[in-house]
Amino acid sequence: MKTTDSNRWRTIDIVVASVIAVAFGVIFWAWGLVWSATEGAFSFFPPAQTLIYGVWLVPAVLGGLVIRKPGASLYCELLAAIISALLGSQWGTIVLLQGLMQGLGAELAFAAFRYRSYRLPAALLAGALTGLSAAVFDFVYWNAERDIATYRLPYAALTVISATVIAGAGAYALTRALTRTGVLDRFPAARDRPLV
């Protein structure tokens, strides 16, 4: 990909991406508590718990939609994982590798659109690919001992669905809502705001 001035990160890009990441790092830490507290609710079919997985993947898509520069998805997801680890994530430092893989999933989606489209299809693909990267990691790291047909495959499919809806569509809706308030006026996302 050709590097241009439009791909160069500005100070405001770094600051806003960092704010997104830090906010979600705190959310990640708290979501870990929610995850643990809801295990019993999904005892009827444990892979169904991944329907709430997508929250952990939002910054990968949101960062890409707001910053709109190569590396934004990876930066936001990885920094959020670092923050959650520093806050004492129950999963320890392995979340750093997870954040890296999840951020790369969203980056691949935006790269597939050559970092030129940030509409709903790009957001949904970013959500789906970050969910797929999360599912692949969990498939081999967390769930390697589980049955493939009754646990790992449904877990992976539901993770991708959750990520597509929560991280993909959710981050897209959040970006549009933020754009309407004017807080993203210094970002390309503001070009998508309807004129009044």
Mean pLDDT of the chain: 94
Instruction: Give the residue among 108, 103, 104 at the shortest CA–CA distance from 81.
Output: 103
Give the model's pLDDT for residue 190.
85
Mean pLDDT in residue range 119-135:
98
Mean pLDDT in residue range 39-49:
96
Mean pLDDT in residue range 144-172:
97
Which 3 state secondary structure label does DSSP give 117?
Answer: coil
CB atoms within 10 A of CB 62: 30
Assess whether pLDDT exceeds 70 at residue 4: no
**Residue 2 banded pLDDT, cuts 50, 70, 90:** low
Q: Is 154 exposed, middle or buried (0-12, 13-18, 19+ CB in 10 A)?
A: middle
Assess whether pLDDT exceeds 80 at residue 100: yes
Residue-wise pLDDT for 67-98, tens only, equals 999 999 999 999 999 999 999 999 999 999 99
161 vs 187: CA distance, rounded Å: 29
Mean pLDDT in residue range 51-66:
98
Instruction: Give the residue among 56, 20, 70, 7 at the shortest CA–CA distance from 178.
Output: 20
Assess whether pLDDT exceeds 70 at residue 146: yes
Mean pLDDT in residue range 99-124:
97
Residue 98 tokens read as 């997870």
63 vs 70: CA distance, rounded Å: 10
Instruction: Give the residue among 10, 11, 23, 86 at the shortest CA–CA distance from 55.
Output: 23
137 vs 145: CA distance, rounded Å: 13
73 vs 107: CA distance, rounded Å: 6
127 vs 176: CA distance, rounded Å: 16
pLDDT above 70 covers a percentage of the chain that reads 95
The label of the residue with tokens 């509409």 reads: 119
Mean pLDDT in residue range 107-117:
97
Assess whether pLDDT exceeds 80 at residue 5: no
Give the model's pLDDT for residue 191.
81
Assess whether pLDDT exceeds 60 at residue 162: yes
Residue 79 tokens read as 């920094």
CA 28, 34, 35: angle at the middle one, nearest 5? 85
196 vs 24: CA distance, rounded Å: 31
Give the model's pLDDT for residue 194.
59
**Residue 6 banded pLDDT, cuts 50, 70, 90:** confident
126 vs 54: CA distance, rounded Å: 12
